[in-house]
Amino acid sequence: MDAVITVPHECAQGRLAGTVRNGIQRFFGIPYATPPIGARRWRLPQPAEPWSGVRDATRFGAVCPQTPGRIDRILGHSRGAQSEDCLFLNIWTPSLVGRRPVMVWIHGGAFLIGAGSQRLYDGSLLAAEDVVVVTLNYRLGAFGFVDLRRASGGVLPATGCEGLADQLLALNWVRHNIADFGGDPDNVTVFGESAGAMSIGALLSAPAARGLFHKAIAQSGAAHIGHDPERAERAGRAFLAALGLERSSAARALEVPAQAIVAAQIAVQATARDGHNPHRLGALPFQPVIDGTLLPDAPITAIRAGSARGVTLLSGTNREEWKLFTAANPKLRLMSRQRFGARVERFARDAAPDLLAVYKGSSAFEQFNAFMTDKVFAEPCRRLLEAQADQGRSFAYRCDWRARLLGGIMGACHAVELGFLFGAYRERLPGAFFGQGADADQLSASLVRAWTSFARSGDPGWPAYERAERQTMIFGDGAPYLAARPQDERRQAFAAIADRRLGP
């Protein structure tokens, strides 16, 4: 049974009662914002009000309303009820005194699902390396990433950046309160995966984020995101239509229940990539919007111009990212070379011969997965590394560990590193997916050591990324090793592809 403790000195809002397990003190469900409910739906978050007495911080707070999918069930459900009152954060710390490096985790989930309370994101393993770990919730899907201001003619306040603004407010909370939990507000590292890493790409470009963090780790996500105003308006119109509303009746959206919001976003997501759908929104219809204020420009463009000058970056991908989404699809497994070629032609006709030339051998299915891994993840990551290397220092990694589920059918897929970074691989059910044994133990130790070393000093333990050598640390079976210019022929084939063609 966990021992219950009370924070011996107050944070800005009041006193907390948390728990201790294996020497790590834990405080869950801390509100960092006023609940974004009622008239506050789709408005920018405001700081949480103080409380009286001692707040119970032994349980996680509610998570943003969502519908978990198959992948979420594999990687672990979020803990906590669902509610629009969801802006909470969680802390793991070795001690309430001292000034330790702080690692703030931003979860992934396609901007639609997930929470800081997922079992997969237990901060204990990292905190045992003498760092303070923070995880947080932010508004998802149509609650946090849809531009309704344009679609409603100004009747609704949503700009499509509310979820990103939540993350910024949480980082502000960390700046002002983390010293009360043994953390150093002058040594904060943001880290995240997938949509969490894409959020970090956006934060690196956001003027309001300057000074809130000092280092960043972007895992399987980069800075090639952000709806331009025209696409953002189309997404807003599609969402209102899914609610059965028009511009003239848009105000009623403030009154519909949260379940109707989730149902409407599912409807938009289901048809987003349908070529016959007039909205044609792409794979992530709900994502941060380039609103001209919080995000003044496309994130990768702003980063190249120096928006995050001085922030040290660690970024990388998994070797076979796309297999998480395709491995169990029998139709795709029967893909022909002709069909693969047609897909590449639609993507970039002029560059198609060069691209097809570097994806050869094995089956068309394997070639397709390699191509999509590069288009959505690897090439945006390379460009982010290069952009930030020009403004400071970047470090690159790649994870080649193959998930063990079903004989390794998913390969070194999207999210496979998470089980080892947070330690979930040691549990029975997650272990069946991620894998266990001596090599798994070594991989976990190597990732934890590199990530916490980076958080501590800005150096994960290998040479910085430079355009000429592109030094990349490879994690997989056995000891990590350094590689120069990995898969460089694929990078060269993508060189002529415009930024707007890359990413999800």
pLDDT digits (tens, 9 = 90+) for 97-149: 999 999 999 999 999 999 999 999 999 999 999 999 999 999 999 999 999 99
Q: How is residue 502 written in tokens?
A: 């890359």
Is the distance from CB of 114 to CB of 44 less than 8 angstroms? no
pLDDT(188) > 60: yes
- Rounded to whole angstroms, the Cα distance separating 59 from 117 reads 10
The pTM assigned to this predicted structure is 0.95
Is the distance from CB of 47 to CB of 58 less than 8 angstroms? no
- Render pLDDT for 266-287 as a digit per residue (tens, 0 to 9): 999 888 665 445 556 788 999 9
Q: Which residues contact 108 (CB under 8 A, 6 or more apart)?
A: 114, 192, 193, 194, 195, 196, 197, 220, 221, 415
129, 427, 456 from 420: Cα distances, Å = 14, 11, 19
Fold assignment, 3-219: Rossmann fold (3.40.50)
Mean pLDDT of the chain: 93
Q: How is residue 328 written in tokens?
A: 């169990």
- In what helix (H) or strand (E) does residue 112 lie, and over which residues does it extend? none
Neighbours of 270 (CB within 10 A): 12
Strands 24-31 and 88-93, sheet pairing:
antiparallel
* Comparison of pLDDT for 336 and 8, the residue scoring more: 336
pLDDT(394) > 50: yes
- Rounded to whole angstroms, the Cα distance separating 190 from 174 reads 11
SS3 per-residue string spanning 15-50: EEEEEEECCEEEEEEEECECCCCHHHCCCCCCECCC
SS3 per-residue string spanning 250-303: HHHHHCCCHHHHHHHHHHHHHHCCCCCCCCCCCCCCCCCECCCCCCCCCHHHHH
Mean pLDDT, residues 478-500: 95
Given this model, what pLDDT does residue 260 score? Answer: 96
Given this model, what pLDDT does residue 350 score? Answer: 87
Closest to 48 in 3D by CA, of 58, 29, 63, 35: 35
In the chain, list all ranges with CATH 3.40.50.1820: 3-219, 309-501
Percent of the chain with pLDDT over 90: 84
Q: How is residue 25 written in tokens?
A: 């003190």
Q: What are phi and psi of 248, to 5 degrees?
A: -65, -25
- Render pLDDT for 434-481 as a digit per residue (tens, 0 to 9): 999 999 999 999 999 999 999 999 999 999 999 999 999 999 999 999
- In what helix (H) or strand (E) does residue 3 lie, and over which residues does it extend? strand 3-6
Q: Which residues contact 460 (CB under 8 A, 6 or more apart)?
A: 314, 395, 397, 450, 451, 453, 454, 473
- The DSSP code for 351 is T
Catalytic residues: 194, 321, 414
Mean pLDDT, residues 348-370: 91
Is the distance from CB of 304 to CB of 180 less than 8 angstroms? no
Mean pLDDT, residues 312-317: 98
Q: Which pLDDT band, with edges at 50, 70 and 90, does 360 fall under?
A: confident
User: What is the CATH number that goes with domain 309-501?
Assistant: 3.40.50.1820
Q: Which residue has the tokens 């060269």?
A: 492
